[in-house]
Chains A and B, each alone.
Chain A
Amino acid sequence: MKALFYPGCSMQKNARPYLDSLLAIREVIDLELQEIEDWNCCGATEYMSVHRVAAHSLVGRNLALARQQARDTDLLTAGCSACYLNLAKTDTQMREDAGLKNTVNQALAAGGLEYKPGSIKVRHLLDLVCHDIGYDAVKARVVKPLHGLKVAAYYGCQVVRPDYDGRWDSHEHPTSMDKLLAALGAEPVDWALKTQCCGGHMTVIGPDVAFGLIRRLIHGAREAGADLVVTLCPMCQLNLDAYQVEMNKHFHTDYQVPVLYFTQLMGLAFGKKAKELGIGKEFVDAAPALAKIQAEAPKVAETKRKRRPKPGDALPMPGME
């Protein structure tokens, strides 16, 4: 199937393994992606707090470009929860609110663009994989089933809620990713926190709040017997993986629960090499968990060299010019 593709800022860098693994599996599942040319940031959850009309216009430019560039498809997919929700929200609210539609289109006209709400169908990547490509088609491509691997399917917030188009079986206890992981041969664990918050932007503006939320999730996954957490969102991955290390320092704990993207597990089940799928770039090493399915996982970069930090190691300070 064909779909327009909005990668979003995170997938370019911090969630590069998500993008790499998606690119590695797309042919296996017959998914043809057409990236929107010269897309801009979706505004995350921050732009909306400062300028609401501008936030919708920011997203409106992406929707207008998608419509303009579309070849043989009106589906637009994003892998990031916030990107997906912002695209869906602007489209939905322009459909429901004639005043907003006119205002956003007046703003877009200043850049020579126009967007007719509803002319693009916004779908999260997991939605396309589970509901359009389907579990049977995925299962048919599995050459290396993930037998013995216990996984906690973690959906986070913004894909299953508010769910404007009713794409999911539940806002609180969805099962689509669990079924996908089962189709890959893994064993999804039953746990209650699959749509609880990862901390969102609180890791930056209020880390103590975020650490509490991260501990709850990581602890919950471990208690449920999961070898790893499987996610569909760059922010969830960053908060649960990189900030798991910070959370451990904060609470003097030693949780070691790796967090991978569902596309990485699909790649492993399709027989792709771990390195090609970006496995090894996580902070909490996934190698011990993946040893259960004998997937070779490259050693995490950190263990490579141990030397005293030099003055030049400090983080460079970027300016606004």
Chain B
Amino acid sequence: MNAATAIPSTSSRPGFLGEVMDRTPGDNRLDLCIQCGSCGGSCPAGREMEHTPRRLFALIRADEREQVLRSNAPWYCVSCYYCTVRCPQEVHITDLMYTLKAMAIEAGLYHDASLPDFSETFVDYVEKYGRSFELGIATRFNLRHHPLSLAGMAPLGLGMLKRGRMDLTPHRIDGMAQLTAILEKAKALEGGLQ
């Protein structure tokens, strides 16, 4: 990324804008958005989002907390960083989407529970084994949210097994106790960063 431009971003703004900015690391520059729409125009999933990033940012400034946290937009973000590198104000848009997702989970504000549940299923496996486990994540997520799609996914799963590209059992790291201690401490500190 380019070096930050000369105008510094103002931290600790009041209201929802300040809250979102404070929870996003580094100089995220959200208050410098000029509503140009480069983000939405660059977004591969923008068409499916209820609000483009530009509209979300306008809503954040207008203190529309609930509408923002209910939006499907952050969950449809594919982390491609096109908006981030194209933003003329160098707003850290992708990082802000992560912040909004975490805030939506905390507030219990999302209209489709399957969206955060994929992230949470992934996290559960990582916290249990220290490694990702594709078969477990995909089956648990689909069983819970799209049970009818499981039959359709079977050829893909079998194809992965036949090619030796999928594990049947998860791998657990040796330092699991150490990792658990680190993650528990990190979660206890999660609020302290604000």
**Residues of chain A whose beta carbon lies under 8 Å from any beta carbon of chain B:** 9-10, 12-16, 38-41, 43-54, 56-58, 60-61, 82, 93, 96-97, 99-100, 103-104, 106-113, 157-158, 161-164, 166, 171-172, 196-197, 199-202, 204-206, 209, 213, 242-243, 245-246, 281-283, 300-302, 313-318, 320-321
**Cβ contact within 8 Å between B82 and A38:** no
Among B7-64, those with CB < 8 Å from A are 23, 25-27, 44-45, 48
A40-B175, A53-B193 are known contacts. Are A205 and B75 too (CB-CB below 8 A)?
yes
Measured between beta carbons, the chain A residues less than 8 angstroms from B166 are: 13-14
**Cβ contact within 8 Å between B126 and A40:** yes
Measured between beta carbons, the chain A residues less than 8 angstroms from B160 are: 14, 242
Complex: how many Å from CA A112 to CA B182? 9
How many A-B pairs have beta carbons closer than 8 Å: the answer is: 240
Complex: how many Å from CA A199 to CA B45? 9
**Cβ contact within 8 Å between A301 and B192:** no
A40-B126, A163-B85 are known contacts. Are A52 and B80 too (CB-CB below 8 A)?
no
Complex: how many Å from CA A124 to CA B185? 30
> Whole-angstrom distance from the CB of A139 to the nearest CB of chain B?
31
> Whole-angstrom distance from the CB of B169 to the nearest CB of chain A?
8
B107 at the interface (CB under 8 A from A): no
B115 at the interface (CB under 8 A from A): yes
A162-B84, A209-B45, A318-B136 are known contacts. Are A49 and B78 too (CB-CB below 8 A)?
no
**Cβ contact within 8 Å between B141 and A107:** no
**Cβ contact within 8 Å between A52 and B99:** yes
**Cβ contact within 8 Å between B23 and A38:** no
Complex: how many Å from CA A243 to CA B74? 23
> Whole-angstrom distance from the CB of B95 to the nearest CB of chain A?
8
> Whole-angstrom distance from the CB of B184 to the nearest CB of chain A?
7
Measured between beta carbons, the chain A residues less than 8 angstroms from B128 are: 320-321
**Cβ contact within 8 Å between A205 and B80:** no
**Cβ contact within 8 Å between A318 and B85:** no
**Residues of chain B whose beta carbon lies under 8 Å from any beta carbon of chain A:** 1, 23, 25-27, 44-45, 48, 74-76, 78-82, 84-85, 94, 98-99, 101-102, 105, 114-116, 118-120, 122-126, 128, 130-136, 138-143, 150, 154-160, 162-171, 173-175, 178-179, 181-187, 189-190, 192-193
Q: Find the B residue at minimum CB distance from A208.
A: B48
**Cβ contact within 8 Å between B185 and A106:** yes
Besides A51-B186, A107-B189, 6 more A-B contacts (Cβ < 8 Å) are: A9-B132, A16-B165, A245-B156, A281-B163, A316-B135, A317-B143
Give which listed residue, A38, A93, A204, contacts B25 with CB less than 8 A. A93
Measured between beta carbons, the chain A residues less than 8 angstroms from B170 are: 318
**Cβ contact within 8 Å between B165 and A52:** no
> Whole-angstrom distance from the CB of B138 to the nearest CB of chain A?
7
Measured between beta carbons, the chain B residues less than 8 angstroms from A243 are: 156
Q: Which 4 A-B pairs have the closest CB atoms?
A: A161-B81, A110-B185, A107-B186, A200-B78
Can you list 8 contacts pairing A with B, beta carbon distance less than 8 Å?
A: A40-B131, A49-B119, A52-B25, A52-B98, A53-B190, A56-B186, A93-B25, A315-B158
Measured between beta carbons, the chain A residues less than 8 angstroms from B182 are: 57-58, 60-61, 107-108, 110-111, 113
**Cβ contact within 8 Å between A46 and B123:** yes
Complex: how many Å from CA A206 to CA B1? 30
Measured between beta carbons, the chain A residues less than 8 angstroms from B98 are: 48-49, 52
Complex: how many Å from CA A320 to CA B78? 27
**Cβ contact within 8 Å between A318 and B164:** no
Measured between beta carbons, the chain B residues less than 8 angstroms from A242 are: 156, 159-160
Give which listed residue, B124, B125, B157, B183, contacts A58 with CB less than 8 A. B183
Measured between beta carbons, the chain A residues less than 8 angstroms from B76 are: 202, 206, 209
